[in-house]
Amino acid sequence: MAAMRGVLLQHLRVRLTSCSVVPPLSFSFCDLLRRRFSDEVKGSFLDKSEVTDRVITVVKNFQKVDPSKVTEKAHFQDDLGLDSLDAVEVVMAIEEEFGFEIPDNEADKINSVDIAVDFIASHPKQSDHPFCINLRKRPRL
């Protein structure tokens, strides 16, 4: 049986002629998918410097704040002299600026400009996400 197999394999062998070798691609299909996914994810977050500028502008425009005291590290109560109700109003103004609602348990933690910036920069842009519905901006029926 083994002899018959050997004879059969000799006749079935395909001879290859040498041809030009195609250089390998510098990236694989998986790399391409990974790169595309990374760009989509990266694009769904706001740039931290843009978030900082917008948050500082919102805080400076709040009527009870002295604009000269607003910095990237300014604390709402200690540095800007706001009470807790004013801090809530600032967070609401920030929500309006960025077009999404900050959950109450997270909003309670936001007591300075840098914490607000960190929170917003670490969350995807809500308005650009196709599955996100901003209930405050929906027309009422």
Q: What is the pLDDT of residue 46?
A: 79
* 0.85 exceeded by pTM: no
Output the average pLDDT for the chain: 75
Set 47, 78, 83, 108: catalytic member:
83
Catalytic (active site) residue 31: no
Single-letter residue type at 126: Q
Q: What is the pLDDT of residue 39?
A: 45
pLDDT > 90? residue 36: no
Q: Which domains are delineated in the chain? A: 48-122 (1.10.1200.10)
Q: Is 68 helix (H, G, I), strand (E, B) or coil?
A: helix
List all residues 6 or more positions away from 116 whose beta carbon is below 8 Å from its beta carbon. 55, 91, 94, 110
Contact 94, 116 (CB under 8 A): yes
Contact 120, 46 (CB under 8 A): yes
- The whole-number average pLDDT for the span 18-45 is 51
Number of H helices, E strands in the chain: 6, 0
pLDDT tens figures, 85-113: 999 999 999 999 998 899 999 999 999 99
Q: What is the pLDDT of residue 124?
A: 78
